[in-house]
Amino acid sequence: MNRSKSDPLTDALIGEAVLALLKRKAPVSAGSLLAELGAMESRELDAQRRAAFPRIIADLQAVLAEKTHREAPASEQEHREKGEIRLSKAPQQGKDNLH
């Protein structure tokens, strides 16, 4: 979501969803927020508010997908730089292997 283009209705609906989660003492996470927005959409009677939900949900999903994509290592080099060991490769035969 581009916060500079955010409208008051979007802010209000997201706020209502977060408050609903907090009142139920439910975990507040991206997944629970998306689920709550979907549930609110199904109950909403006002046409303008109901029409806003698909856009809000799609925007949040796009932000989450972008964040996931940015945080995912893109290459073997990134794994090495992070000190990660890839277990998917078969061990190479050589002097370090004990038989």
In this predicted model, what pLDDT tens digit does every residue of 30-56 receive, in sequence order? 999 999 999 999 999 999 999 999 999
One DSSP character per residue, 52-96 reads HHHHHHHHHHHHHHHHHHHHS--SHHHHHHTT----SSPPPPSTT
Residue scoring higher pLDDT (98 or 25): 25
Assess if residue 76 is contained within a domain. no
Assess if residue 64 is contained within a domain. yes
Amino acid 81: pLDDT: 60
Distance CA 5, CA 69 (A): 23
Local structure of 15: helix, strand or coil: helix
Assess if residue 81 is contained within a domain. no
* CATH number where 46 lies: 1.20.5
Number of domains the chain is built from:
1
Amino acid 69: pLDDT: 77
Assess if residue 95 is contained within a domain. no
Amino acid 99: pLDDT: 46
Distance CA 49, CA 13 (A): 8
Confidence of residue 70 (pLDDT cuts 50, 70, 90): confident
User: Mean pLDDT for the chain?
Assistant: 81
Domain that holds residue 54: 3-71
Assess if residue 96 is contained within a domain. no
Residue scoring higher pLDDT (22 or 87): 22
- Say if residue 96's pLDDT is above 60: no
Assess if residue 33 is contained within a domain. yes
